[in-house]
């Protein structure tokens, strides 16, 4: 078989996450030698199959690096007060450093109220308004895991962000908005596009760095992409054949991009790695240890 020469750099999140987990294992080992074990509590309400897969993966990740994982699986019909009571108890539990409530929640539960109930010091997803505010002013205690994972990928690839034209497609509180803030703090010039943006294709085609988080399979085609752009695909979708695919038409876009993330194996593994990193950071904070 002939060797295929790729003109683009593949931003391999699987490889970077593995390297990060190796380093985190050593950090957790050092903490354990001092009698300190980081603890992550994950609450899942109901039986959403995708949520169950995510929670199982998070448990495996914790085991891999030595973080103690506590799972609280509650039935679909759990009353809101019961869920809030559990969060209150975990806020007070010194063996728990991070609290994560798996979203989405069943419709009778108020996500905003639930997220606000988590102590900001244990909010390793960084969804609490306090942590959102700290991110806005450029002093994040914790950064949301997906955007933070994207930044790690960019830094690991030695891609200089300063002065670059960055277009973020999607304005969710979980990815789009914090992603734009993190890029802004690295001195990119940032445009946020969304469903009401006029001529999305024209906006995207001016981007030096294009980040898509819209959740539409293969929506970003080659004519949305400037020659030599860095393309980050945050989308996780299933196409007509049921295959996992991103927002970006990878085979075509990779011909124009200077660097690109695959789906799967790009941003996804980094999201999970950053959750571990935030949990270890929370543990160090709770034990008043200096943070690197």
Distance CA 239, CA 218 (A): 8
Give me the helices (H) in the chain, please: 13-33, 49-65, 80-92, 111-117, 129-136, 145-156, 176-185, 200-204, 250-253, 267-286
Helix (H, G, I), strand (E, B) or coil at 245: strand
Q: Which of 12, 102, 233, 247 is catalytic?
A: 102
Distance CA 292, CA 150 (A): 20
Any catalytic annotation for residue 122? no
Structural contact between residues 144 and 160, judged by C-beta atoms closer than 8 angstroms? no
Q: Which of 125, 208, 233, 247 is catalytic?
A: 125
Any catalytic annotation for residue 160? no
The burial class, CB within 10 Å (0-12 / 13-18 / 19+), for 265 is: middle
What residues are paired with 191 via a beta bridge?
167
Structural contact between residues 40 and 65, judged by C-beta atoms closer than 8 angstroms? no
- Cα torsion through 137, 140, 143, 149, rounded to 10: 90
Distance CA 281, CA 185 (A): 21
Side by side, which strands form the sheet with 39-45? Answer: 68-74, 39-45, 98-101
Any catalytic annotation for residue 289? no
Distance CA 173, CA 160 (A): 25
Q: Which of 12, 21, 58, 177 is catalytic?
A: 58
The residues annotated as belonging to the active site are: 58, 102, 125
């Amino acid at each position: 078989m002939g060797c295929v020469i790729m003109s683009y750099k593949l931003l391999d999140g699987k490889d970077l996450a593995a390297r990060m987990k190796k380093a985190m294992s050593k950090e957790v080992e050092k903490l354990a030698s001092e009698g300190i074990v980081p603890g992550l509590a994950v609450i899942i309400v109901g039986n959403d199959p995708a949520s169950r897969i995510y929670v199982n993966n998070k448990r495996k990740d914790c085991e891999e690096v030595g973080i103690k994982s506590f799972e609280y699986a509650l039935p679909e019909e759990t009353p809101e007060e019961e869920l809030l009571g559990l969060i209150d108890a975990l806020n007070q539990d010194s063996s728990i450093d991070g609290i994560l409530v798996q979203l989405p929640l069943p419709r009778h539960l108020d996500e905003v109220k639930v997220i606000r109930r988590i102590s900001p010091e244990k909010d390793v997803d960084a969804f609490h308004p306090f942590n959102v505010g700290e991110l806005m002013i450029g002093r994040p205690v914790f950064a949301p895991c997906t955007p933070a994972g994207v930044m790690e990928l960019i830094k690991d690839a030695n891609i200089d962000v300063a002065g670059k034209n960055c277009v973020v497609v999607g304005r969710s509180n979980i990815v789009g908005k914090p992603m734009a803030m993190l890029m802004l703090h690295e001195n990119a010039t940032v445009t946020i596009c969304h469903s009401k943006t006029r001529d999305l294709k024209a906006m995207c085609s001016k981007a030096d760095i294009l980040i898509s988080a819209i959740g539409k399979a293969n929506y970003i085609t080659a004519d949305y992409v400037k020659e030599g752009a860095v393309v980050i695909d945050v989308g996780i979708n299933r196409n007509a054949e049921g295959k996992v695919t991103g927002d970006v038409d990878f085979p075509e876009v990779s011909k124009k991009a200077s660097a690109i993330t695959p789906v799967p194996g790009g941003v996804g593994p980094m999201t999970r790695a950053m959750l571990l990193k935030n949990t270890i950071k929370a543990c160090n904070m709770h034990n008043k240890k200096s943070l690197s």
